[in-house]
A and B are shown apart, each in its own frame.
Chain A
Amino acid sequence: MRIINRVIVSLVLLLGAGLQGWSQTNNTLFFMNGVPQSNRINPARQPECGFYFGIPLLSPTTIHTSSSSLAFGDVIYPHPTEDSLITFLHPLGDQQAFLNKLKPLNLMLSDMGVSLISFGFRTGAGFFTLDVSSRVEGNIYFPGDLPRLVLEGADEGETYTMDGMGTDITGFDEIAVGWSGAIGNRWQIGVRGKAYFGLANLSTTHSEFSVTTSEEVWNIHSDMEFDASLPFADVIYNEDGMIEDIIIDEELRNMSPMAFARQAFSSKNFGLGIDLGVDYRPSDQWLLSASLLDLGYIRWTDEVHEVSFKTDYDYTGLEVNPLEFSGERTFSEYLDSSLTALADTLAGELEFTPGKIYSRRLSTKVFIGASWYVTPNINFGLLSRTDFLKETIIEEVTASANFAAGRVLNFTLSYSYINGYLKNFGAGISFNTGPVNLYVISDNALNALFWPHEAKSANIWFGMNLVFGYQQFSKLDRDRPLVY
């Protein structure tokens, strides 16, 4: 394979093929009782209806992205004197402020979920649900020294440490069957079993990378390993075991829906998972809840490849014979030759090999919440969310005020501490008009009103359901207002 292709592939591996992502879970949703899909975040929850059916592709669609270090306003902000926007790279931008925001290792989380089928129904044994959805999760880990190297330059005697750099991207389809039932008057539990069908995966399994720069030598130390499953691509190796070509189905490149459909629900990358939830009402005023989501894994077996980039290379320049110096070559040409030699050498350290079967767990999340009911229609909640990522654990806290106006309207205001940022104000609203249920929820919706430039994360759920059996349910359970 040509060197340029290898470099491109390497960059894709390093920086991630897709920086955009979409979220599965929303903290504010935890307290949105009027939304049927609230059981996605707590399987113990039961919608206050006998049957619901989510509109395909709309119920729900979830989007989430967050950054551990950078806010929107760290990247884009108003021109100081003109009526326009500028980036931090603009001559009037503040690159130093940008760099100051970065941590040694920075994280960008993003995921998306689209529901294909979502329905639930109540029986005497409890509430049953079936959800079929497609999800993509992408985590980008980028070191603060990487932009520092680019923006501040390679200085004498500096070491730019980029350990942990990499990406984890997983696309998969999910079929989930859930059940929720009551145990006595105070307990309600739920469980949801999941089958995963992996579409593609790129995982960074080990990442050490550093660059030390000086006039005499550039030392490039790398010990990076990646696993990948690329069922949508035929990877062709040459006799030396190096990738010669990557052929992606033409229909897939043309974004043909049929091509995507053929890739869906492939059993070659199969996984299992489970969600668990529990609600406990010690009194009429208190509701304690906990849930565990995405405890599971996917076993990747289809079109598996391993990529490694291991080197400890001292670059001391381009060796020349001074007695063969030619005036026909300019300084810039020597510079170009020198850098090309460096790139060629480093590209030569990339190794692509057919890989072995591997398993990757999903990003498991734990929610623990408590609600205090002032009245049956007004309550206040406090929620702790913990994300167990591969390299780190992220903790978020959300407080909410929840209001219900009968079955017509559910409204929630929330405040969250996310990614070290204190000013996340969210909201959620759910309407029920006849059998139609429509809702929009976000943990950061109000930030756009007051502090859009400080936003480090953004998420939104929206969906549309057809809900039936509310009256019947209301009569049957009038004496047991577990959810409102």
Chain B
Amino acid sequence: MRKNLLYSTIFLLAGGLFLTSCHKEYFQLGRLSDEMEIHTDLVAPLLYGSMTMSDIVALFDSSGFVGEFEDGLIYLTYADTLVDVMVDTLDLVVDGLYSEIYYDAEIGDNPIFIGSSIGDTVHFTKSKYFSFETVGDNRLDSILFKGGELLTEMESTFQHAGFLTVSSEYILDSDRNPYTYTMVISDPSGDFSWSESHELDGYFLETDQQGDSSVFRMDYDLALINSGNPVNPGDFCEINSSFLDMGFYSLFGFVDPNEVVSESGVLDIPIYSDVPELTHLKLADPRINIFTESSLGIPFELEVDSVIATAENGTTETLEFYEGHPFIIPAPTIDMVGETAYGEFHINNQTSNFQDLLNIAPHTLSYRVTGDIGSQSQNHFLLDTSRFMTEAEFMLPLDLSFSEYALVDTLEFEVGEEGLDTSIVKDVVIALSTVNELPIELGMQVYLLDETYMVLDSVFDGDPVFLTSSDVDSEGRLLAASEDSNSINFPAEKLGTLEQTQFIRIEARMVTSGAGDQFVKFYSDYSLDFEISFYANLRINTREL
């Protein structure tokens, strides 16, 4: 037993020695450093999206200036009303037609009157023509009065009673009865005066053409009842007829088809000098559509000639019409009174060389416009409800080319309040992949500027084509989308530069497919798809977080 106890004691001592000699340093976790650091890479997709031409159009077209044809071709359009005239808004009131009839000593000298007995009635008649002066072959046939009055004033010093009848077979009431009015001279004292206003609304006035005037006649019949009093020298009877404030419901006649409008001048077109890049823009099919509505019974013809565009470098281009010119603006004929005639006029590639004028980037446009009355009808008319309206629609289908379009813009830039932790992010590569159906090539460079606008660095290496244009056929339609992959490398030094950057200057240049040598079309379903991914080399140290 003692022997066993001795062995046990020896064993315990030996065990104790073993334990004290163990590798304690591995287990002194109180001395374990808490610093950890990971160098890791991360590659992942970040963003993706797509935009179609219709999306882009919707973004910029808040006013409805963009549309698309049935086949999806996009166009820009702007329409405006050039002329909109209602006849009743015009001041076409005849006022002040005036005539004076005068009876004087001729009465006393008249043998009939001298031979008459007391109580006999003797008539003295006179007629007076009123005239509307016309030029050339202008002719006024008739007027249906709208309002107006015929004011008749009379003063008589003859010491005889009697009556005065004013009439005109040219002025007819609505029942086609000639106008006539008789006034009684009831006072033979020699101090008689009278006036009468007659409403003319609804009366017709028919005229005769005499020379350069359209005339109508008024007839005056002065009947005196011999009172036995003498006709003294100086006695008179004065009759004044005035047509006042005469409007019209309708007016018939003829407007001489001689030249009625002629205007010429030079228009400045500042857009090309304001935006010089537009000089590289060529339009394949610019269009102007003119629409007219007329209920005037007067056709017009408009002739545009001597339209010459002059470019900055002196190049000129003269507008030539192939068809549809001069513009004959239709009007209702005499059997269409009250109706409206519509007209359309198109200025485009089929009717003119309008495209060539725009594509020299004109900075001035000289013109001469002549307006005539059309010769289609010899009977013209106007109604008080007649209206003439002209609307012009400018349409630019996105069938175009531009051989160079550069855009430079400087923007404020800062990396954000938290900045870039370049101790963590060592290297970042942003990769952009695109599938482009748009027939546009885009090159871009972004410069990093400090607060003095000094260039610190550029984002891209070289001058890369950021977006290759799609392939198009000879008609400018999409053949195949282009695919591009671009990487933007931000090594640690450039990330540091970003922190100093206060501004960025973006320089972009665009050109359509085929280096801008052919026209390309933009359809609404063309899309630009993109995927953005990134690669980051990270160094994460727990003591630096």
Contact = CB atoms under 8 A, between A and B. Distances in A.
Interface of A: 72-73, 76-79, 83-87, 89-91, 95, 150-156, 213-218, 315-323, 330, 332, 334-335, 338, 405-406, 408-409, 411, 429, 431, 446, 448-450, 452-453
Interface stretch (B27-35, B186-194, B348-356): B27-35
Contacts of B41: 152-155
Interface string B7-42: 110010001001101110111110111011110111
Contact of B27 (A215, A408, A429, A452): A452
Interface of B: 1, 3-5, 7-8, 11, 15, 18-19, 21-23, 25-29, 31-33, 35-38, 40-49, 51, 55-56, 59, 415-416, 418, 431, 433, 530-535, 538, 541
Contacts of A316: 45, 48, 531
Contacts of B38: 89, 95, 150-151
B87 to A, nearest CB: 49
A90 B49 contact: no
Nearest to B428: A331
Given A216-B531, A323-B56, A90 B35 contact: yes
B215 to A, nearest CB: 72
Contacts of B534: 215, 335
A90 B31 CA distance: 13
Given A76-B32, A452-B23, 16 more contacts: A73-B26, A85-B26, A86-B33, A87-B33, A153-B40, A153-B42, A154-B41, A215-B431, A215-B534, A215-B535, A216-B531, A217-B45, A322-B51, A409-B8, A449-B21, A449-B23
B46 A87 contact: no
Contacts of B37: 89-91
B467 to A, nearest CB: 12
A330 B47 CA distance: 13
A317 B43 contact: no
A73 B26 CA distance: 8
B22 A317 contact: no
22 contacts: A76-B32, A85-B29, A85-B31, A86-B33, A86-B35, A153-B40, A215-B43, A215-B535, A317-B44, A317-B47, A321-B51, A330-B415, A334-B47, A338-B45, A405-B7, A408-B1, A408-B4, A409-B7, A448-B22, A449-B19, A449-B22, A452-B22
Contact of A319 (B1, B11, B49, B55): B49
Contacts of B42: 153-154
Given A86-B32, A215-B431, A405-B8, A78 B49 contact: no
B33 A90 contact: yes
A332 B541 CA distance: 19
B20 to A, nearest CB: 10
A435 to B, nearest CB: 16
A155 B535 CA distance: 9
Contacts of A320: 47-49
A218 B533 CA distance: 11
B542 to A, nearest CB: 8
B485 to A, nearest CB: 9
B46 A335 contact: yes
Contacts of A76: 26, 29, 32
Given A84-B32, A90-B37, A215-B431, A408 B8 contact: yes
Residue of B11, B23, B33, B533 with most chain A CB atoms under a 10 A cut-off = B33
Given A78-B26, A323-B56, A411-B11, A89 B44 contact: no
A10 to B, nearest CB: 20
A87 B21 contact: no
Contacts of A155: 41, 43
Given A215-B533, A408-B5, A154 B15 contact: no
A332 B26 CA distance: 41
B487 to A, nearest CB: 10
A72 B26 contact: yes
A318 B43 contact: no
Contact of B45 (A218, A322, A323, A450): A218
Contact of A216 (B11, B29, B533, B535): B533
Residue of A73, A77, A84 with most chain B CB atoms under a 10 A cut-off = A84
A99 to B, nearest CB: 12
Contacts of A84: 31-33
Given A91-B541, A323-B51, A449-B22, A154 B33 contact: no
A274 B36 CA distance: 48
Contacts of A338: 44-47
B50 to A, nearest CB: 8
A85 B36 contact: no
B46 A317 contact: yes
Contacts of A79: 33
A423 B46 CA distance: 49
A317 B416 CA distance: 23
A78 B25 contact: yes
B35 A91 contact: yes
Contacts of A73: 26
Nearest to A88: B36
Contact of A215 (B4, B19, B45, B530): B45
A190 to B, nearest CB: 29
Contacts of A409: 4, 7-8, 11
A91 B433 CA distance: 36
Nearest to B31: A84
B406 to A, nearest CB: 22
A83 B31 contact: yes
Nearest to B19: A449
Contact of A87 (B3, B28, B32, B530): B32
A219 B37 CA distance: 28
A318 B21 CA distance: 60
B8 A317 contact: no
Nearest to A217: B45
Contact of B49 (A95, A322, A446, A450): A322
A175 to B, nearest CB: 36
A429 B41 CA distance: 52
A74 to B, nearest CB: 12
A457 B62 CA distance: 73
A452 B26 contact: yes
Contacts of A90: 33, 35-37
B501 to A, nearest CB: 14
A322 B47 CA distance: 10
Contacts of B535: 156, 215
Nearest to A333: B416
Contacts of B21: 449
Contacts of B55: 321, 323
A429 B18 CA distance: 14
Contacts of B31: 83-85
Contacts of B35: 86, 90-91
B59 A406 contact: no
Contacts of B48: 316-320
A339 to B, nearest CB: 8
A217 B433 CA distance: 13
A321 to B, nearest CB: 6
Contacts of A87: 32-33, 36
Nearest to A216: B45
Contacts of B416: 330, 332
Contacts of B530: 322
B103 to A, nearest CB: 89
Contacts of B26: 72-73, 76-78, 85, 452-453
A317 B531 contact: yes
Nearest to A83: B31
A157 to B, nearest CB: 9
A236 to B, nearest CB: 36
Nearest to A318: B47
Contacts of B15: 429
A405 B8 CA distance: 8
Contacts of B45: 215-218, 315-317, 338
B387 to A, nearest CB: 43
B413 to A, nearest CB: 9
Contacts of B3: 405
